[in-house]
Amino acid sequence: MTLSWSDLVRTAADESTAVLEKGADRNWARKAGDLDWSGRETLSHIALGVVGYAGLLIARPTDRYITLFSSIDSHAPVPAALEGIRIAGTLLANTVDNTPSDVRAWHPYGHSDAAGFAAMGVLEMVVHSRDIARGLDIDWTPSGELSAPVVKRLFPDAPTGHDPAATLLWCTGRAELPGLPRQSGWRWYGEVR
């Protein structure tokens, strides 16, 4: 069964939160994977991005990012801070459910529709949760069920024939694929095709 885009967003929020809860008692000041941000900073980035995608679909600007910014309380205990992923995911999923298919909104990587912003939200949650997990010494890779539709929607030139999660990690500059070096400069394609 293929999940709807809003269900993919909810699933990504649930899976990301579940894996990060395993490391709630670890050092979140450590860098998140290869990023320059700490685990806490990356968690706040996830919330900012995912809530921002919902905001873009609601405000529908044509030439700029929205003026609302969200973050996670930097003083909240990690278990409480993790609810920010579920809150952001729920806001985006509900917005995707209620956005007509002809709606477009600005994004620097291409004006997009509800499906595109849902894919961006799933990417933010699973890729950055993996970054955080790596910094916490948790071995986790997003599921193929979440990775495959994101690759298909946001990376039309992605190589085929590989595991969907490995392909998503390659597309986002986090891993090599057989015969393909790790990317140093990457971006997704948000335009509706």
User: What would the pLDDT profile of 88-100 be if each residue is shown by its tens digit?
Assistant: 999 999 999 999 9
Q: Which residue shows structure tokens 């590989």? A: 162
The reply to whether the predicted model has a pTM over 0.95 is yes
What is the predicted pLDDT for the residue at 1? 67
Indicate the number of domains in the chain: 1
Instruction: From 1, 8, 4, 3, select the one nearest 124 (Cα to Cα).
Output: 8
User: Does 188 reside within a domain?
Assistant: no
User: Does 180 reside within a domain?
Assistant: no
How crowded is residue 40: how many other Cβ atoms within 10 Å of its Cβ? 18
Helix H or strand E encompassing 79? helix 78-81
CATH code for position 68: 1.20.120
Separation in Å, CA 78 to CA 21, 46, 71, 72, 147: 8, 14, 14, 10, 26
Answer yes or no: is pLDDT of 187 > 80: yes
What is the predicted pLDDT for the residue at 135? 98
Q: Which domain holds residue 32?
A: 5-171
User: Does 193 reside within a domain?
Assistant: no
DSSP code of residue 19 = H
What is the predicted pLDDT for the residue at 133? 98
pLDDT tens profile 27-84 = 999 999 999 999 999 999 999 999 999 999 999 999 999 998 888 999 999 999 999 9
Instruction: Tell me the pLDDT band of 2, cut-offs 50, 70 and 90.
Output: confident
Encoded tokens for 182: 């790790």
What is the predicted pLDDT for the residue at 97? 98
